[in-house]
Amino acid sequence: MNKPLALQEVMIDTKFLAKRLESETSGEVMTDVASRGRYATDASIYQTMPVAVFVPKTAEDIVAAIQIAADLGVPVLPRGGGTSQCGQTTGPALVIDNTKYFRNILDINLEQGYVDVQPGIVLDHLNAALKKHQVWYPVDVSTAAQATIGGMAGNNSCGSRSIAYGNMVHNVFGVDAWLADGQEASFGLMKNATGKALELGQFVQSLAHQHQAEIEAKWPKVMRRVAGYNLDIFNNQSERPYTQDGQVNLAHLLVGSEGSLAYYKQLRLALSPLPKHKTLGVVNFTSFYEAMDSAQHIVKLKPSAVELVDRTMIDLSRSNPAFKSVIETALIDVAGKTPEAILLVEFSGEELAPLEKKVKDLVSLMADLGHPGCVVEMINAESQKNLWEVRKAGLNIMMSLKGDGKPVSFIEDCAVPLESLAGYTQDLTEVFSKYGSRGTWYAHASVGTLHVRPILDMRRGGAQKMRAIAEEAAALVKRYKGAFSGEHGDGICRGEWIQWQFGHKLTEALGEIKHAFDPNNLFNPGKIINPPKMDDESLFRFPQTYRVIPLKTSLDWSSWDVQNDPVTEKTTAPGTGGDPSGGFAKAVEMCNNNGHCRKFDAGTMCPSYRVTRDEKHLTRGRANTLRLALSNQLGKDAFLSEDVKEAFDLCVSCKGCKRECPTGVDMAKMKIEYLSHYKKSHGWTLRDRLIAHLPRYSHHIAAIPGLAFMLNLRNKVPGLAFLGEKLTQISAKRSLPTWRRDTAWRSMMGSTEEALFASAKPVVLWADTFNGCFETENIKAAVNVLEASGYTVHIPQKKQGHYCCGRTYLASGMVDEARASAQELLDAFTRYTEKNIPIIGLEPSCILTLRDEFLVMGLGDSAKTLAKGSQTFEEFLVSEANAGRFAPELKACEQQILLHGHCHQKSFDAVKPIISLLKMIPQAQPQLIESSCCGMAGSFGYESEHHQVSLQMAELQLLPAIRQAPDAIVLADGSSCRHQIKDGADREALHVARILEMHLK
């Protein structure tokens, strides 16, 4: 029998392990504490330091790693996206990350309806490749953008449409896997099995026969049972058979084994036709109980999904700017009252007409059940897609709760028969209130698996409540004949419940399966077999002993320094959370490891991960590194160490995560905070100073005759750029912005302040450092456009200089200098905001600093007023146009306009106004480039060590899209974006102000 995890006394010589891996494989080996720390957690409450991390490049690397680990007695833990919720992806093992290199599609066979893939491929990437063939892999987990097929098979995952397609296990034809001795075995239909797979299959078959009566008595009959190993494949107990023709498939033994039986090499997956049409009926309920009670009737209409969103989730979505308008398309507020629950009922198929009829049938059914007029009929595909996004974001919306109490997953996927759903949810709600908590319910009503997470503070007695609630929930599951583990797997939080569910004899039988496959307990020990206790504090990410180092922060993080009420979810006043780092640590701890930042498709987050695929260069990796350093888990004084500095190295401060991370992890702001400490302790380089002080010295360069000319020689005289790089580490491969004497301030544009105050249409155009010094024509264009529509434009300036937001100081971690600069600007601009005169800016990163960082620099209430009064040029003009004050006469535009949004514009949802503005030009058809950050990101792309990675970021989407449209006008509002486009595609990109000016009649 295998030893329990705690008793496994492995004396591991990590150095020797690393040495062998490095010499015998081509993979990447990591043994430093920070790298291991980044792999110590998944999306659960648990944390365990791995022995080492290995990123294999080839199949041979994995075989060698398994053999080396076996020789040295080091456990092996295969890993995908690390998005598991139960701790199955944490362990004191050699963690092997398949996601960087082991992620290919090997074969698509449409005739036989399968695809062969490597385990590290992400579901969305697979489905994107399958789309052109009109097929898909339909196990649509919410984490489809980051979950890998290996991880999905490991957990026997299931999605919203499992009522139509089943779980992972129902959609796997075969698995080729490495066994614990490094041998490869092919698992598929039992009748075709040979060699070791046949031997193992026969052994498990004999166990199944031996325990047949026990299996029939103890095995849950609901489809959503994922606990243990699938010992019932020889005598199916589920309401849904494993295979359509009843044949036994040995691959199904490995599905749901959580990396504890064998290491998947490749998987053969069953393809399904991509449904051509979908319709949606959103049923609104005035009581939660009625919603639950209706599910059993609704499924008789044969929907492809029935998903619940409860009142709390509705309210949270309504209060989230990104989701408000979408959720409201689904709601029927009866007498001004928000519904208590909605069910999203989807129908899908080949023809639209029958699906539309199904929605009508739903309307009739609900009327028959006593709920007339409660269905929103949603036939439009785009509206459906938007609503599904909100539903999929459900958990993440919930997890954005600030404070130490968090919704904890441990009974979040119990499955009960549909007719018992209403009773079960009601009873469990009572259990929560007994323990001073409350549950938010959502997800798969169609199959009786509702997600619910009571709010617990694991640092303060959460473990005791967790056990008490789990015990009462288990009793309910037993009463209602359900399954305790119905979707997310067993891992650590449900491992101990396997014996409770199946009884002693079957648990022993599962142990025998493990022993037959993995006699030395090599693969992911302590998962499924001999699991630890769910409330073993030594395995928690936040045990009661968790402490944070005291830190005097440079920015104000007090809004994160709060606690919450587990029932009302109300948070305490800022600054009362007891965080010795003033809220900085709590902001960092908001990362719950859900892995949403590992995405590649839409949005901005996270460009450095998109080009490197390294956990270290991912928002999550950075948050974990910071959290571990702030809580002294990376060693003494780790906060200011190179480990943390390196994790920030490729963060381009794009603010993608600020908007797109579901829990609001704002790494760009964290980088400012971090750099302010690191640089104070390690010193600023010459390059830091050159960049930071640019707004100050730029005026002298313009004022001293000949100086601009001399400095510009750097771009022209061979060798000077090279010398400059040696001196400053500014890349010789980059051209630098051209200095000029006719800066915006020396050009005397616009009107006087007196004229401004006297005007009926006054506007302050704030000339920032970049447009003002290097691209005066943008300022001129903005002035011309505004003046042509009757505005009085004033450009503020001071003696020998201009007002600066301090952006360059922030980027260098000089927060005191940034604050001084910001204060000066604030003092100067208050006289405009007091008179409600709008402040507009052209450079997105500068003007948006007034709405972002200014609010956390301790500048007082006047900063809030300034933030409200500051807009981008295009935001201002669109709001003016909407108010009927801006209607310029413009010439038609014959050319295509390609638009690249600056990532700070995207972060503040400020790209749409550019499109609206362009649409005012007759015939203009602006087209948005779906791109992440351009990669230049202020000074980042100019830095010699970052030049290459900067261009890689641009090459992801931006530069190829521009090259594909050689005749298009390219629009980019960001100065650095325009430089990147010039350097990478040799095209002049224009600010929107110039495009408008070009079209003035």
Ligand X SMILES: Cc1cc2nc3c(=O)[nH]c(=O)nc-3n(C[C@H](O)[C@H](O)[C@H](O)COP(=O)(O)OP(=O)(O)OC[C@H]3O[C@@H](n4cnc5c(N)ncnc54)[C@H](O)[C@@H]3O)c2cc1C
> What letter represents residue 929's amino acid?
I
Task: Tell the smallest beta-carbon distance from residue 513 to ligand X (Å).
Answer: 15
Question: Does residue 186 belong to the site contacting ligand X (CB under 6 A)?
Answer: no
Question: Does residue 88 belong to the site contacting ligand X (CB under 6 A)?
Answer: yes
Question: Does residue 845 belong to the site contacting ligand X (CB under 6 A)?
Answer: no
Query: Binding partner of residue 623 among ligand X, ligand SF4, none, CB under 5 to 8 Å per kind?
Result: ligand SF4
Rounded Cα distance between 657 and 660, Å, is 5
Instruction: Choose between 596 and 794: whose C-beta lies nearer to ligand SF4.
Output: 596
Question: Does residue 395 belong to the site contacting ligand X (CB under 6 A)?
Answer: yes
List the beta strands (DSSP E) in 15-85: 28-30, 52-55, 76-79
Instruction: Choose between 31 and 98: whose C-beta lies nearer to ligand X.
Output: 98
Q: Which of residues 261-280 bind ligand X (CB under 6 A)?
A: 263-264
Task: Tell the smallest beta-carbon distance from residue 152 to ligand X (Å).
Answer: 4
Question: Does residue 594 belong to the site contacting ligand X (CB under 6 A)?
Answer: yes
Alpha helices in 789-927 (DSSP H): 807-811, 815-833, 844-847, 861-869, 873-882, 903-907, 912-918
Instruction: Choose between 150 and 582: whose C-beta lies nearer to ligand X.
Output: 150
Of the candidate spans 73-81, 185-193, 656-664, 892-900, the one that interacts with ligand SF4 by CB under 6 A turns out to be: 656-664
Rounded Cα distance between 650 and 557, Å, is 23
Task: Tell the smallest beta-carbon distance from residue 555 to ligand SF4 (Å).
Answer: 15
Rounded Cα distance between 635 and 847, Å, is 40
Judged by CB under 6 A, the residue of 25, 41, 148, 348 near ligand X is 148
- CA distances, 44 to each of 149, 541, 573, 999 (Å): 19, 8, 28, 55
**Strand order across the beta sheet in which 375-378 lies:** 375-378, 277-285, 341-349, 305-310, 441-444, 449-452
- CA distances, 409 to each of 45, 323, 333, 790 (Å): 8, 24, 31, 59
Task: Tell the smallest beta-carbon distance from residue 333 to ligand X (Å).
Answer: 28
Cα–Cα nearest to 236, from 226, 224, 246, 225:
246
Q: Which of residues 155-174 bind ligand X (CB under 6 A)?
A: 155, 157-159
Query: Binding partner of residue 82 among ligand SF4, ligand X, none, CB under 5 to 8 Å per kind?
Result: ligand X
Judged by CB under 6 A, the residue of 8, 243, 247, 396 near ligand X is 396
Instruction: Choose between 52 and 606: whose C-beta lies nearer to ligand SF4.
Output: 606
Of the candidate spans 138-146, 191-199, 533-541, 620-628, the one that interacts with ligand X by CB under 6 A turns out to be: 138-146
Q: What does the DSSP 8-state code read for residue 190?
A: G
Judged by CB under 6 A, the residue of 37, 56, 75, 81 near ligand X is 81
Judged by CB under 6 A, the residue of 33, 43, 179, 562 near ligand X is 43
Of the candidate spans 317-325, 561-569, 647-655, 737-745, the one that interacts with ligand SF4 by CB under 6 A turns out to be: 647-655
Instruction: Choose between 526 and 935: whose C-beta lies nearer to ligand X.
Output: 526
Question: Does residue 150 belong to the site contacting ligand X (CB under 6 A)?
Answer: yes
Query: Binding partner of residue 488 among ligand X, ligand SF4, none, CB under 5 to 8 Å per kind?
Result: ligand X
Question: Does residue 147 belong to the site contacting ligand X (CB under 6 A)?
Answer: yes
Query: Binding partner of residue 619 among ligand SF4, ligand X, none, CB under 5 to 8 Å per kind?
Result: ligand SF4
Taking each helix axis from N to C terminus, what angle separates 667-682 and 619-630, rounded to the nearest 10 degrees? 50
Judged by CB under 6 A, the residue of 298, 652, 763, 898 near ligand SF4 is 652
Strand, coil or helix: 971 = strand
Strand, coil or helix: 237 = coil
- Contact partners, residue 449, CB within 8 Å, separation at least 6: 224, 413, 414, 415, 443, 486, 487
Question: Does residue 259 belong to the site contacting ligand X (CB under 6 A)?
Answer: yes
- Taking residue 479's Cβ as centre, other Cβ atoms within 10 Å add up to 13
Residue 325 burial class via C-beta count within 10 angstroms: exposed 0-12, middle 13-18, buried 19 and up: exposed
- Contact partners, residue 120, CB within 8 Å, separation at least 6: 80, 97, 98, 99, 100, 101, 102, 103, 148, 149, 150
Instruction: Choose between 598 and 794: whose C-beta lies nearer to ligand SF4.
Output: 598
Binding residues for ligand SF4, total number by CB under 6 A: 28
Instruction: Choose between 272 and 612: whose C-beta lies nearer to ligand SF4.
Output: 612
Rounded Cα distance between 648 and 669, Å, is 11
Question: Does residue 89 belong to the site contacting ligand SF4 (CB under 6 A)?
Answer: no
Cα–Cα nearest to 789, from 697, 880, 854:
880
Strand, coil or helix: 271 = coil
Q: Which of residues 580-619 bind ligand SF4 (CB under 6 A)?
A: 591-597, 605-608, 619
Cα–Cα nearest to 148, from 112, 183, 118, 190:
118
Of the candidate spans 77-85, 544-552, 646-654, 937-945, the one that interacts with ligand X by CB under 6 A turns out to be: 77-85
The label of the residue with tokens 């028959």 reads 368
Instruction: Choose between 307 and 843: whose C-beta lies nearer to ligand X.
Output: 307
Query: Binding partner of residue 77 among ligand SF4, ligand X, none, CB under 5 to 8 Å per kind?
Result: ligand X
Task: Tell the smallest beta-carbon distance from residue 213 to ligand X (Å).
Answer: 31
Instruction: Choose between 83 and 501: whose C-beta lies nearer to ligand SF4.
Output: 83
**β-sheet bridge partners, residue 344:** 282, 307
Judged by CB under 6 A, the residue of 27, 50, 75, 82 near ligand X is 82
Q: Are 417 and 477 spatial neighbours (Cβ–Cβ below 8 Å)?
A: no
Q: In this structure, is the dihedral angle defined by the CA atoms of residues 451, 456, 459 and 464, taken in order, positive or negative? A: negative
Q: Which of residues 664-683 bind ligand SF4 (CB under 6 A)?
A: 665, 667-668
Task: Tell the smallest beta-carbon distance from residue 393 to ligand X (Å).
Answer: 8
Rounded Cα distance between 637 and 621, Å, is 19
Q: What does the DSSP 8-state code read for residue 920?
A: T
Q: Which of residues 357-376 bind ligand X (CB under 6 A)?
A: none
Strand, coil or helix: 280 = strand
Rounded Cα distance between 426 and 429, Å, is 5
Q: Are 264 and 153 spatial neighbours (Cβ–Cβ below 8 Å)?
A: yes
Of the candidate spans 154-162, 349-357, 973-981, 986-994, the one that interacts with ligand X by CB under 6 A turns out to be: 154-162
Taking each helix axis from N to C terminus, what angle separates 14-24 and 59-72, rounded to the nearest 10 degrees? 150
Question: Does residue 564 belong to the site contacting ligand SF4 (CB under 6 A)?
Answer: no
Q: What would the two tokens of residue 748 be?
A: 């005397």
- Contact partners, residue 177, CB within 8 Å, separation at least 6: 184, 185, 187, 254, 262, 263, 264, 265
Rounded Cα distance between 361 and 570, Å, is 41
Query: Binding partner of residue 258 among ligand SF4, ligand X, none, CB under 5 to 8 Å per kind?
Result: ligand X
Q: Which of residues 521-550 bind ligand X (CB under 6 A)?
A: 524
Question: Does residue 256 belong to the site contacting ligand X (CB under 6 A)?
Answer: no
Binding residues for ligand X, total number by CB under 6 A: 38
Query: Binding partner of residue 656 among ligand SF4, ligand X, none, CB under 5 to 8 Å per kind?
Result: ligand SF4
Q: Which of residues 720-779 bind ligand SF4 (CB under 6 A)?
A: none
Q: Are 550 and 98 spatial neighbours (Cβ–Cβ below 8 Å)?
A: no
Rounded Cα distance between 455 and 476, Å, is 20
Query: Binding partner of residue 869 among ligand SF4, ligand X, none, CB under 5 to 8 Å per kind?
Result: none
Q: What would the two tokens of residue 468 be?
A: 């008490």
Instruction: Choose between 2 and 975: whose C-beta lies nearer to ligand X.
Output: 2
Taking each helix axis from N to C terminus, what angle separates 497-517 and 195-210, rounded to the nearest 10 degrees? 140
Element (H, E) at 989: strand 989-990
Of the candidate spans 74-82, 298-306, 692-700, 898-906, the one that interacts with ligand X by CB under 6 A turns out to be: 74-82
Q: Which of residues 487-516 bind ligand X (CB under 6 A)?
A: 487-488
Instruction: Choose between 143 and 554: whose C-beta lies nearer to ligand X.
Output: 143
Chain residues binding ligand SF4 by CB under 6 A are 591-597, 605-608, 619-620, 622-623, 651-657, 661-663, 665, 667-668
Chain residues binding ligand X by CB under 6 A are 42-43, 77-85, 88-89, 98, 119, 141-143, 147-148, 150-152, 154-155, 157-159, 258-259, 263-264, 395-396, 487-488, 524, 594
